[in-house]
Amino acid sequence: MKRNEGFTLLEVLVALLVTGICLAVVFQSFSQSMRLRVKADALDEAVQAAQNLLHDEAFVTELLARRGGSGPVPDAAPWQYQARVEPLRWATGPDQEPLLVEGMWELTLCVTKAAHGTGAPRCVTGWYRAIP
């Protein structure tokens, strides 16, 4: 019996099936990496907006004097900030009352992208000396 050169129809179908599965896995990985990149870019923007605010000495001094505040982030159009200032309390143990640290304030600054309105706030906390 003489064997024909080439592939049978079944071999071609199996090869196409394997190729399709491989392409589906590659596409899924690519789309997942794109979603992660978008989230990372948004987080990077939030960190940049918060750092710009916290590096502005006049802004921090004003927040400490007013004991907080909220509003748009200057020079970062879609971002909004909300700040809370409270006396610094230091926890000394799990069952003990936190101690009040005289002359120190805890500033919690949260930034949110206003364009979406539903985005999770990104918050950072810092300690500052009291305003004389």
The pLDDT assigned to 16 comes to: 93
Angstrom CA distances, 56 to 50, 51, 53, 62, 103, stand at 10, 9, 5, 10, 21
The DSSP letter of residue 4 is P
Residue 72 contacts residue 79 (beta carbons within 8 Å): yes
The pLDDT confidence band at residue 2, using thresholds 50, 70 and 90, is: low
Compute the distance between CA of residue 130 and CA of residue 67 in angstroms, rounded to an integer: 11
Average of per-residue pLDDT across 57-76:
87
100-128: burial string, b at 16+ Cβ within 10 Å, e else: eeeeebbbebbbbbeeeeebeebeeeeeb
Query: Which tens digit of pLDDT belongs to each residue from 92-129?
Result: 888 888 888 888 999 999 988 876 556 788 888 889 88
Compute the distance between CA of residue 45 and CA of residue 115 in angstroms, rounded to an integer: 13
Average of per-residue pLDDT across 36-51:
85
Q: What is the chain's Cα-based Rg?
A: 28
Query: Which tens digit of pLDDT belongs to each residue from 9-41?
Result: 888 999 999 999 999 999 999 999 999 998 888
